[in-house]
Amino acid sequence: MDKLSVKANAKINLTLNITGKLPNGYHTLRSIMQSISLHDIVTVEKTAPNEIEVICGGEIPSGEQNIAYKAAREFFRFADISDMGVKITVDKHIPSEAGLGGGSADAAAVICCLNKLFGCELPQKALCEIGASVGADVPFCIMGGTALCEGIGEVITPLSPLECECVLIAKGKLGVSTKEAYEKIDSTEIKHSPWEISDFSGGFESWAKLCSNDFEAVSDDPEVEAIISEMKSCGASLSQMSGSGSAVFGLFSEHKKAESCRKKLSELGVFAEICGFAKNSIE
């Protein structure tokens, strides 16, 4: 096998509590993450030795600045492969600077593809170790599904799959710098709503009421507030920001209501797409 294409699914944070800050500047968190079917398509192909080429559309940087490049470089280093090269093509569908883990999903896809293409057969634990060296959300994007993520995101406890009829993802014109969002968190005292893993074992309507995101308290993006308001007025059981933003997700019990909301947001020039929960991150 010389070429492999996969779907790299986005993620949303059903809960996101910032619990502390480490001496190295990283923040610790407690979050339930969920893979969703909104995805990029990542293609990895063997090429001339000692070359890593990344092609990515839009405003996403190619070359060494792309997280997919870093993922390939770290995989080859970890697997002790020095005479092989790859071409990585990313067909972007996940909005950037959105808190949806698009870059992390691409990196995870590259790591998993390289593991197969080069016949390394590294276990998932090793793949997650490589991923953690690239980005905090990459290990979850390798494992996928529903999981409690702690530490800086690398301590992952798989959870039973959650059910939801449909998810509406929406993002306005503005993006959010993760660095700046954490700086705002550092200067704000936030009270967390208590929740336990067991609280998420019930039906959709019960656990949806427990979800929250600390970053909403420091968001100053008027589009975020407007989108959340619109989703709730259209019947979303839950609407909140994902990650550090600026994307918003709405969970709906009826597809008809989600589609009506999608149309309204699209007419306002907002990116809006309906998807669902996914049991895997890489497909």
Residues carrying an active site annotation:
11, 137
Q: Is 23 helix (H, G, I), strand (E, B) or coil?
A: coil
| Distance set, CA 250 to CA 80, 258, 278 (Å) | 44, 8, 15
d(CA 124, CA 144): 11
Place of tokens 């427990």: 210
d(CA 163, CA 101): 21
Place of tokens 């007025």: 233
Provide the angle, in degrees to the nearest 10, between the axes of the packed helices 67-79 and 124-132: 130
Q: Is 42 helix (H, G, I), strand (E, B) or coil?
A: strand
State both tokens at 53.
């080429």
d(CA 247, CA 243): 8
Total H helices, total E strands in the chain: 8, 11
Length of the chain: 283
d(CA 139, CA 120): 18
- Kind plus residue range of the DSSP H or E element containing 75: helix 67-79
